[in-house]
Amino acid sequence: MKLKLLFLLSFIFFIQKIKAQDYLFGKITSEEHIEMPDVTVINIRTDERVTTNADGHFMISGREGDELRFIKSGYERMNRRITKDNISAPLSITLIRQTTLIEEVEVKKGLTGDLKVDSKNLNRPRKVEKLTQDIDKYIARKSDPRILAAKAGEFVQPKGQGFSIGKVKDKWDDVDLMRYLRKSLGDQYFIDLKIDKSLIEHFIYYVLRSGFERRQILKYGFCSDADLMRFQRAVLARISSYRAPQTQR
């Protein structure tokens, strides 16, 4: 008799335990109402974990008062407290995508056509910027006082008036400088600029008379690489006006 009573009590306890432990069902979708597979569902009380199937459905044991957590990479983590209504009806969960910070993009100004404005607005490559700075520093240095005498070359009497041959105390005059420039750059340099060979010396004098600074060169009788580069820039600046008719110069 006692054995039957004990069996009956155990059976009643088992039935109550089954009733106390329910199963929760639900479906998880995105904000676009798309079923989401591989979402991890965790019952925080029991630490039971399940994963949604290809249609976003899940089933997990739980009861009223439990808290479920939903985790998916790239989406906001979400918690849901189970109520009495959730026991009798499936859960409908919507996950929200995490906000992604977009790297700031610098919007540069467009070309205006003004060289001064555009050179300030546009960022030049670092290598170009460094090379320009090095050239400016090199040009700013004083010429080497060593004397490098230029070899004698052909001389053509320059056309026009007003060129300076330098002071008596200078080691060079404009004739010496002209010869040095022609020898250093070579005739082909001027020919490539569409200057006739017979007019090369005349063109060099034209550039010198156009404001090319050469006092230190004449004084020490030495033309540095930096001075040669300055002269080449002056050539490019004056070539157009030299080719223009005499009345437009």
Residue-by-residue DSSP string for the chain: -HHHHHHHHHHHHHHHHHHHSEEEEEEEE-TT--B--S-EEEETTTTEEEE--TTSEEEEEE-TT-EEEEE-TTB--EEEE--HHHHHS-EEEE--BPP-PPPP---PPPP-S-HHHHHHHSPPPHHHHHHHHHHHHHHHSPPP----PPPP----PPSSS------TTSS--HHHHHHHHHHHH-HHHHHHTT--GGGHHHHHHHHHHTT---HHHHHHT---HHHHHHHHHHHHHHHHHHHS-GGG-
150 and 241 part of one domain = yes
For residues 90 and 28, membership in a common domain is answered with: yes
Looking at the structure, do residues 77 and 163 belong to the same domain, yes or no?
no
The pTM of the full predicted model, rounded to 2 decimals, is 0.36
Q: Is the same domain home to 194 and 151?
A: yes
Task: Determine the pLDDT at residue 30.
Answer: 93
> Same structural domain for residues 154 and 222?
yes
In a domain, 100, yes or no: no
Number of domains within the chain: 3
- Band of the pLDDT at 126, cuts 50, 70, 90? confident
What pLDDT does residue 178 have?
93
Residues 35 and 90 in one domain: yes
Q: Give the pLDDT of residue 129.
A: 73
Q: Judge whether 66 lies within some domain.
A: yes
Domain assignment present for 163 = yes
pLDDT digits (tens, 9 = 90+) for 145-173: 554 545 555 554 554 444 555 445 789 99
Are residues 136 and 155 located together in one domain of the fold?
no
44 occurs within a structural domain: yes
Specify if 193 maps to a domain. yes
- Is residue 243 scored above 90 in pLDDT? no
193 and 170 within one domain? yes
| 79 and 112 inside one domain | no
**Domain span at 186:** 145-248
Instruction: Point out the domain boundary residue: 68, 94, 120.
Output: 94
Question: Domain for residue 221, yes or no?
Answer: yes
| Same domain? 136 vs 154 | no
Cβ(88)–Cβ(69) under 8 Å? no
* pLDDT value of residue 18: 47
Phi-psi region of 113 (alpha: psi -120 to 50; beta: other; left: phi over 0): left
Is the same domain home to 116 and 182? no
Q: Does 76 reside within a domain? A: yes
CB contact at 8 A, 197 and 187? yes
- Tell whether 173 and 129 lie within a shared domain: no
79 occurs within a structural domain: yes
Which domain CATH number covers 84? Answer: 2.60.40.1120
